Amino acid sequence: MNKKSKRVFSPMRTAILGSVILAMLHIILLGGTYQRRAAAEKIQSDSAVLDQNYAALKQISDEQVSALRFELGLIQAEVDDLQSTFPELGAPFAIYHRGMDLSQSSGVDLDSISLLGSDIQETALGNIQTNNYSIELTGLLESCLTYIQKLESAGMDTLTMEYISIWPEEELCSLEIKTVGYPGVEE
């Protein structure tokens, strides 16, 4: 009797099993290659989109920077204009000496100059001193007006008229002025 042996791993079965395993490995490797190729194409596509977005953002950013620089130039010009209107400060206006000289040249009698108050304020440019004065004059209306005009011209930006009263019948003039300057600077 011929009995066929039943081997589990016969050479034919081993060859078929090996072929199936190799086929599965090839399928897995082909699937991995396909996935890598698809991922590479997706990366290239995403990279192109990112490059376009970056170029658009850069253009917008450049336009914004350009607009901001233009606006900064306008603001700087405005600041320069405003700074040019600031008075050149030195000592506060020497009202006692100049007031007497101006009264003599204007044809009025200087009755009194009195300090009403003084204040020191801190600013970005340093401490600024403001002084308030009261001035009493006797003279004709035209002489009082001449004195006021000369006082304003002499003080320019460092002296302001706060209050003016003129009584032509009594030939009296009363002024309240404010002077501005750096404290401790002698004129």
Q: Which of 72, 98, 73, 75 is nearest to 150 (CA)?
A: 98
Cα distances (angstroms) measured from residue 177 to each of 92, 150, 160, 183: 12, 13, 6, 17
Model pLDDT for residues 81-92, shown as the tens digit of each residue:
876 665 555 555
- Look up the CATH superfamily of 95-181: Ribosomal protein S6/Translation elongation factor EF1B (3.30.70.60)
Cα distances (angstroms) measured from residue 30 to each of 33, 37, 55, 79, 159: 5, 10, 37, 71, 93
**Domain locations in the chain as residue ranges:** 14-85, 95-181
pLDDT at 85: 64
Q: Which of 91, 121, 111, 79 is nearest to 184 (CA)?
A: 91
- d(Cα 148, Cα 144) in Å, to the nearest integer? 6
| 10-residue stretch averages of pLDDT, the chain, 187 residues long | 62 86 90 90 90 88 88 89 63 70 86 87 80 89 87 75 86 86 63
Mean pLDDT of the chain: 82
- For residue 156, the Cα-to-chain-centroid distance in whole angstroms is 30
